[in-house]
Amino acid sequence: MSGPDRGTVFRGFVVVGIGLALAIAALTATASGKESATEHFNRGVELLNKGDLDGAIAAYRAAIQADPNDANAHYALGVTLRRKDDVDAAIAEYRTAIQLDPNHVDAHNTLGVALRKKGDLDGAIAAYRAAIRLSPDHAGAHSNLGKALSEKGDVDAAIEEYQTALRLNPDQPGDHINLGIELQGRGDLDGAIAQYRAALRLDPDDAGTHYNLGVALQGKGDVDGAIAEFKTAIRLDPSQANAYYNLGVALHAKKDLDGAIKAFKTAISLAPNDAEAHRTLGGTLMGKEDLPGAVAAYQTAVRLNPDDADTHYELMHAFIAQKNAAAATKELGEFTRLATSTAANRQKIDDARKRIDQLRGAGK
């Protein structure tokens, strides 16, 4: 047997519209006759472009000291503090910028980014919506709002925001990826496939998107297409354990058990504590009649996830195939203890008892 395919895990980067030196360089300090404030601000831009975050922070603070009412200086300081991962201080600067200039679109948008990082989704959503009210065509704000709505579980609204972001700026692969993930979660595999392919036209070397496309194709029953995508994902990023796992599932479906076993073993080498990979390897080894290998794989899966009833059941069958009645009885007991009481499971238990009894009878 082969295990279930893994869901998509590679989500596209959210377009935040901050942290880029060019974006900061586009800001102009409010002169108002205060040349020193402007000079400090421009020095901050220069240092930020060079990657000197501490120097840029010092320069922006000097600009603010010279002109405390310069919203752009507070905003730029907030962006730089955010890049230093000082999120609380960044939030304070964004709020000051908004207080000084309530129409500062980027301050609202970046405030949302910082609040989302702090886990304040409601606050982030409100900030993004404020940015959109001021600038309805702000693609980055729509994209960010979609991400926050998705995290809140409002999938329909998230899809609408990603679609709006892509209408405004169709060349953002991250938005195509995120829209694809949401569509796939709703079962719209054709829509998801179209979005992943659009993302790959923009960024053909993104391993995660090839993996996501492979999962969607696998869900559509296009096993050959899925295999091709998983192999491309692995070529681009050989560290993807899930890509090897799903490649194994797809190869198993093509009856290439040797290829599947190799893929599962590679997945396990990358993620040795993945109980499902060990279990699926066990099932594939059973198909090759490698009973010792299957038992070892199932036992590892049981050790990693001792409360999974189905793994105990499959290990029981491996022991039955080995004619090990005592070990099979133990695993049947575990399955009986852990499995939900359904008609199907009760039938499984009765059938297994009969097989074990037959095995014991044959051994007398």
Encode pLDDT of 118-143 as tens digits.
Answer: 999 999 999 999 999 999 999 999 99
Closest CA to 45 of 65, 32, 26: 26
Residues spanned by the domain of 60 = 1-135
Q: Around Cβ 358, how many Cβ atoms within 10 Å?
A: 12
156 within a domain of the structure (yes/no): no
245 within a domain of the structure (yes/no): yes
Residue 170 has pLDDT above 60, yes or no: yes
At residue 31, the pLDDT reads 44
User: Are 355 and 322 contained in the same domain?
Assistant: yes
148 within a domain of the structure (yes/no): no
Please state the domain count of the chain: 3
DSSP 339: S
CB 15 within 8 A of CB 174: yes
User: Are 312 and 256 contained in the same domain?
Assistant: no
Residue 15 has pLDDT above 80, yes or no: no
Confidence bin at 29 (pLDDT 50/70/90): very low
198 within a domain of the structure (yes/no): no
Higher per-residue pLDDT: 202 or 21: 202
At residue 36, the pLDDT reads 86
User: Are 68 and 107 contained in the same domain?
Assistant: yes
Domain boundary among 222, 253, 271: 271
256 within a domain of the structure (yes/no): yes
At residue 362, the pLDDT reads 78
Indicate the pTM of the whole model.
0.86
Residue 359 has pLDDT above 70, yes or no: yes
184 within a domain of the structure (yes/no): no
Residue 52 has pLDDT above 50, yes or no: yes
User: Are 316 and 225 contained in the same domain?
Assistant: no
User: Are 14 and 69 contained in the same domain?
Assistant: yes
pLDDT, tens digit (0-9, with 9 covering 90-100), for 189-205: 999 999 999 999 999 99
At residue 58, the pLDDT reads 96
Domain boundary among 109, 135, 161: 135
CATH value at residue 82: 1.25.40.10
Closest CA to 110 of 11, 10, 23, 12: 23
Q: Which of 13-27, 113-127, 171-185, 273-287 has the lowest mean pLDDT?
A: 13-27
Residue 24 has pLDDT above 50, yes or no: no
Amino acid making up residue 325: A
Residue 3 has pLDDT above 60, yes or no: no
User: Are 301 and 239 contained in the same domain?
Assistant: no
pLDDT, tens digit (0-9, with 9 covering 90-100), for 77-111: 999 999 999 999 999 999 999 999 999 999 999 99
What integer is the mean pLDDT of 261-274? 98
At residue 35, the pLDDT reads 56
Residue 23 has pLDDT above 60, yes or no: no
Confidence bin at 360 (pLDDT 50/70/90): confident
Residue 19 has pLDDT above 50, yes or no: no
At residue 361, the pLDDT reads 84
User: Are 118 and 1 contained in the same domain?
Assistant: yes
pLDDT, tens digit (0-9, with 9 covering 90-100), for 336-348: 999 999 999 999 9
DSSP symbols for 83-150: HTT-HHHHHHHHHHHHHH-TT-HHHHHHHHHHHHHTT-HHHHHHHHHHHHHH-TT-HHHHHHHHHHHH
CB 112 within 8 A of CB 143: no
Alpha helix (H) ranges present in the chain? 21-25, 35-49, 53-66, 71-83, 87-100, 105-117, 121-134, 139-151, 155-168, 173-185, 189-202, 207-219, 223-236, 241-253, 257-270, 275-287, 291-304, 309-321, 325-338, 343-363
- 154 φ, ψ (degrees, to nearest 5): -95, 80
Cα separation, 30 vs 98, whole angstroms: 15
pLDDT, tens digit (0-9, with 9 covering 90-100), for 211-266: 999 999 999 999 999 999 999 999 999 999 999 999 999 999 999 999 999 999 99
- Give me 34's structure tokens: 């205060």
User: Are 242 and 285 contained in the same domain?
Assistant: no
36 within a domain of the structure (yes/no): yes
User: Are 105 and 67 contained in the same domain?
Assistant: yes
Interacting residues of 336 by C-beta distance below 8 A, sequence separation 6+: 349
Residue 5 has pLDDT above 90, yes or no: no
- Give me 108's structure tokens: 């609202």
At residue 165, the pLDDT reads 98
Residue 1 has pLDDT above 70, yes or no: no
pLDDT, tens digit (0-9, with 9 covering 90-100), for 298-336: 999 999 999 999 999 999 999 999 999 999 999 999 999
CB 155 within 8 A of CB 183: no
Closest CA to 97 of 116, 79, 73, 120: 73
At residue 247, the pLDDT reads 98
Domain boundary among 253, 271, 289: 271
User: Are 43 and 124 contained in the same domain?
Assistant: yes
359 within a domain of the structure (yes/no): yes
Closest CA to 265 of 235, 241, 233, 288: 241
User: Are 24 and 126 contained in the same domain?
Assistant: yes
User: Are 258 and 306 contained in the same domain?
Assistant: no
Confidence bin at 148 (pLDDT 50/70/90): very high
Higher per-residue pLDDT: 123 or 363: 123
